[in-house]
Amino acid sequence: MHFPPARANPPAPRYTALQTMLTDVRPCWNCGQVNPAGAKFCANCGKPQQGTCPECGNPVTADAKFCPNCGTALGVAAPVATPAAPVLTAEARKVVTVLFVDLVDSTRLTERLDPEEARQVIGKFYTVVQHAVERFEGTVANLLGDAVLAIFGLPVTHEDDPERALRAALAIQDALPVLNDHLQATHAVQLGVRIGINTGEVVAASGSTFDRDFLISDAVTTAHRLQEGMRPGSVTVGERTHRLTQDAIEYTPLPPLVVKGKDAPLSAWQAVAVRPEVAEVRRVAAPLVGRHGELGLLRHLYERTREESLVQSVTILGQAGVGKSRLLREFLAEVRGDDPSPLVLRGRGVAFGGQIGYHALIDVMRAQAGLMDTDPEDVVRAKLAGWLAAALPAGPDLLDGLFLTFGAENGTAAPPEEMRRRLFDAWRGLLAGLAAARPVILALEDLHWADDGVLDLVEHIGATAEGVPLFTICLARPELLERRPRWGGGARNATTLDLKPLRPQEADQLVAALSSQGIPPEMRQTIAQRAGGNPLFVEELVRMLLEGSTPGAAIPDTVQAVITARIDRLPAEERRVLQAAAVIGLGFWPSAVAPLVGLSAEEARKVVEALIAKELVVSRPQSAIAGEREYAFRQTLTRDVAYGLLPKSQRARAHAEAARWLEARVGERVEEVIEILAEHLRLAGDDARAATYLRRAATKARRLYANADAVRLFEQALESAGKAHLPLRDVALLYHGRGEVYQLRGEYRAALADFEAGLTAARLAEDRALEALLENRVGFVRHRELRLEDAEAHFSRSVDLARQAGDHQTLGLSLIDLANVAWDRGQMGPNHPMLSEGIRILQQAGDLSGVARGFNLLGMAHFSAGEGAPAIAAIEEALAAARRSGDKSKEATSLSYLSVISRYLGRYQDCLRYGQEALDLARAIGDRRREVFATSFIVPALMSLGEWGEALRLLDGILRQLREYAKIHLPFFYGYSGLLAYELGDLREAHEALTQAISVETVPNPGWQQLIILAEIFRARIDGDRATETRALDRMLKLSWGVFIPDDLDMLLPVAESLLEVGRTADARRFIDGRRSDVARWGAAVYEAALAIAEGAVAVVEERTSEARGFLDDAVRLSQATEDRLMEVRARGRRWKLAHLPEDREALRRVLQHIADSLPEERRAIFLKSPRATLLQEPS
* Whole-Å CA distances, 729 to 290, 681, 772, 798, 810: 60, 21, 13, 17, 17
Per-residue pLDDT for 667 more than 50? yes
pLDDT at 119: 86
Domain boundary among 498, 533, 550: 498
* Residue 822 counted as domain residue: no
* Residue 791 counted as domain residue: no
| 229 and 142 assigned to the same domain | yes
CB atoms within 10 A of CB 1141: 16
Measured CA angle at 275 (ends 273, 276), to 5 deg = 135
Domain boundary among 255, 274, 293: 274
pLDDT at 215: 58
Alpha-carbon distance of 652 to 31, in angstroms, equals: 11
CATH number for the domain harbouring residue 241? 3.30.70.1230
Lowest mean pLDDT among 220-234, 452-466, 525-539: 525-539
Lowest mean pLDDT among 410-414, 674-678, 770-774: 410-414
Query: Is it true that the peptide bond before 1046 is cis, omega within 30 degrees of 0?
Result: no
- Of the CA atoms within 13 Å of residue 1152, those in its CB half-sphere come to 26
The parent domain of residue 574 ranges over 568-646
- Per-residue pLDDT band at 68 (split at 50, 70, 90): low
Alpha-carbon distance of 974 to 976, in angstroms, equals: 6
Q: Name the range with the highest mean pLDDT among 121-130, 431-440, 566-575.
A: 431-440
> Parallel, antiparallel, or unpaired for β 494-498 and 311-317?
parallel
Yes or no: say if 1067 and 1103 are a contact pair by the CB < 8 Å rule.
no
Yes or no: say if 166 and 241 are a contact pair by the CB < 8 Å rule.
yes
- Per-residue pLDDT band at 69 (split at 50, 70, 90): low
Q: What percent of the chain has pLDDT over 70?
A: 84
CB atoms within 10 A of CB 469: 23
Residue type, 614: K
- Per-residue pLDDT band at 54 (split at 50, 70, 90): low
- Per-residue pLDDT band at 353 (split at 50, 70, 90): very low
- Per-residue pLDDT band at 83 (split at 50, 70, 90): very low
Alpha-carbon distance of 592 to 777, in angstroms, equals: 44
* Residue 814 counted as domain residue: no
| 582 and 470 assigned to the same domain | no
CB atoms within 10 A of CB 289: 24
Nearest to 709 by CA among 676, 750, 751, 732: 676
Per-residue pLDDT for 14 more than 90? no
Q: Which residues pair with 498 in a beta bridge?
A: 317
Task: Calculate mean pLDDT across residues 1058-1086.
Answer: 94
Lowest mean pLDDT among 261-265, 622-626, 1172-1176: 622-626
Task: Calculate mean pLDDT across residues 134-146.
Answer: 85
* Whole-Å CA distances, 611 to 205, 346, 478, 616, 915: 22, 24, 30, 6, 57
Query: What residues have CB less than 8 Å from 78, skipping those under 6 apart?
Result: 50, 51, 52, 53, 60, 61, 62, 64
Task: Calculate mean pLDDT across residues 970-983.
Answer: 84
Task: Calculate mean pLDDT across residues 227-254.
Answer: 90
Residue 619 has φ and ψ, to the nearest 5°, of: -95, 130
Q: Name the range with the highest mean pLDDT among 134-148, 450-464, 889-903.
A: 889-903
Alpha-carbon distance of 1016 to 521, in angstroms, equals: 83
* Residue 442 counted as domain residue: yes
Alpha-carbon distance of 118 to 124, in angstroms, equals: 10
| 475 and 592 assigned to the same domain | no
Task: Calculate mean pLDDT across residues 214-231.
Answer: 82
Q: What is the pLDDT of residues 294-330, one digit of tens each?
A: 999 999 999 999 999 999 999 999 876 778 888 999 9
Q: Which residues pair with 51 in a beta bridge?
A: 60
- Per-residue pLDDT band at 443 (split at 50, 70, 90): very high
Alpha-carbon distance of 1022 to 314, in angstroms, equals: 54
- If one compares 475 and 613, the residue with the highest pLDDT of the two is 475
Alpha-carbon distance of 156 to 138, in angstroms, equals: 9
Per-residue pLDDT for 1120 more than 70? yes
* Whole-Å CA distances, 217 to 166, 504, 557, 957: 20, 41, 24, 52
Lowest mean pLDDT among 143-157, 353-367, 929-943: 353-367
Task: Calculate mean pLDDT across residues 603-632.
Answer: 86
- Per-residue pLDDT band at 81 (split at 50, 70, 90): very low
Would you put residue 886 in left (φ > 0), alpha (ψ -120 to 50) or beta? Answer: left
Q: What is the pLDDT of residues 378-396, one digit of tens each?
A: 898 999 999 999 999 877 8
pLDDT at 776: 97
Per-residue pLDDT for 5 more than 50? no
Lowest mean pLDDT among 5-14, 210-219, 860-869, 972-981: 5-14
Count up the domains in the chain and report the number. Answer: 4
3-state helix, strand, coil in the chain (%, to 5): 60, 10, 30
Q: What is the pLDDT of residues 264-295, one digit of tens each?
A: 899 999 999 988 754 333 333 457 888 889 99
Residue 268 has φ and ψ, to the nearest 5°, of: -145, 155
pLDDT at 556: 42
Yes or no: say if 787 and 968 are a contact pair by the CB < 8 Å rule.
no
Q: Which residues pair with 618 in a beta bridge?
A: 632
Nearest to 29 by CA among 67, 91, 86: 86
Alpha-carbon distance of 578 to 584, in angstroms, equals: 10
| Relative orientation angle of helices 504-514 and 521-530, to the nearest 10 degrees | 150
- Per-residue pLDDT band at 41 (split at 50, 70, 90): low
Task: Calculate mean pLDDT across residues 563-589.
Answer: 87
Tell me the three state secondary structure of residue 926.
coil
Per-residue pLDDT for 531 more than 80? no
Residue 88 has φ and ψ, to the nearest 5°, of: -95, 135
Per-residue pLDDT for 1023 more than 90? yes
* Residue 690 counted as domain residue: no
| 933 and 1030 assigned to the same domain | yes
Q: What is the pLDDT of residues 793-812, one digit of tens each?
A: 999 999 999 999 999 999 99
CB atoms within 10 A of CB 415: 20
* Whole-Å CA distances, 545 to 156, 162, 518, 625: 15, 20, 9, 37
| 352 and 236 assigned to the same domain | no
User: Mean of the per-residue pLDDT values for the chain?
Assistant: 84
Residue 147 is inside which H or E element, if any?
Answer: strand 147-152
| 437 and 577 assigned to the same domain | no
Alpha-carbon distance of 281 to 1075, in angstroms, equals: 75
| 1076 and 1154 assigned to the same domain | yes
Task: Calculate mean pLDDT across residues 1098-1104.
Answer: 94
* Whole-Å CA distances, 1011 to 778, 788, 945, 989, 1055: 30, 20, 21, 18, 11
Lowest mean pLDDT among 355-359, 457-461, 1042-1046: 355-359
CB atoms within 10 A of CB 766: 10
| Alpha helix ranges (H) inside 202-312 | 218-227, 239-245, 292-308
Residue type, 115: P
pLDDT at 637: 66
* Residue 1029 counted as domain residue: yes
CATH number for the domain harbouring residue 592? 1.10.10.10
Residue 1123 has φ and ψ, to the nearest 5°, of: 60, 25
Q: How many residues does the chain have?
A: 1180
Yes or no: say if 43 and 35 are a contact pair by the CB < 8 Å rule.
yes
| 1078 and 1122 assigned to the same domain | yes
- Per-residue pLDDT band at 453 (split at 50, 70, 90): confident
Tell me the three state secondary structure of residue 829.
coil
| 320 and 259 assigned to the same domain | no
User: In this structure, what DSSP letter does residue 41 have?
Assistant: B
CATH number for the domain harbouring residue 393? 3.40.50
Domain boundary among 646, 667, 695: 646
| 242 and 161 assigned to the same domain | yes
- Per-residue pLDDT band at 1177 (split at 50, 70, 90): confident
CATH number for the domain harbouring residue 1098? 1.25.40.10
pLDDT at 214: 56
- If one compares 40 and 604, the residue with the highest pLDDT of the two is 604
Q: Per-residue DSSP letters for 866-921?
A: T-HHHHHHHHHHHHHHHHHHT-HHHHHHHHHHHHHHHHHTT-HHHHHHHHHHHHHH
Query: What residues have CB less than 8 Å from 353, skipping those under 6 apart?
Result: 673, 675, 676, 678, 679, 697
| 369 and 259 assigned to the same domain | no
Q: Per-residue DSSP letters for 416-443?
A: HHHHHHHHHHHHHHHHHHHHHHS-EEEE
Task: Calculate mean pLDDT across residues 435-462.
Answer: 91
Alpha-carbon distance of 729 to 761, in angstroms, equals: 7
pLDDT at 201: 84
Lowest mean pLDDT among 539-543, 784-788, 952-956, 1174-1178: 539-543
pLDDT at 482: 74
| 952 and 1083 assigned to the same domain | yes
Alpha-carbon distance of 247 to 1001, in angstroms, equals: 57
pLDDT at 299: 94
Measured CA angle at 918 (ends 912, 921), to 5 deg = 135
Query: What residues have CB less than 8 Å from 1142, skipping those under 6 apart?
Result: none
* Residue 1043 counted as domain residue: yes
* Residue 132 counted as domain residue: yes
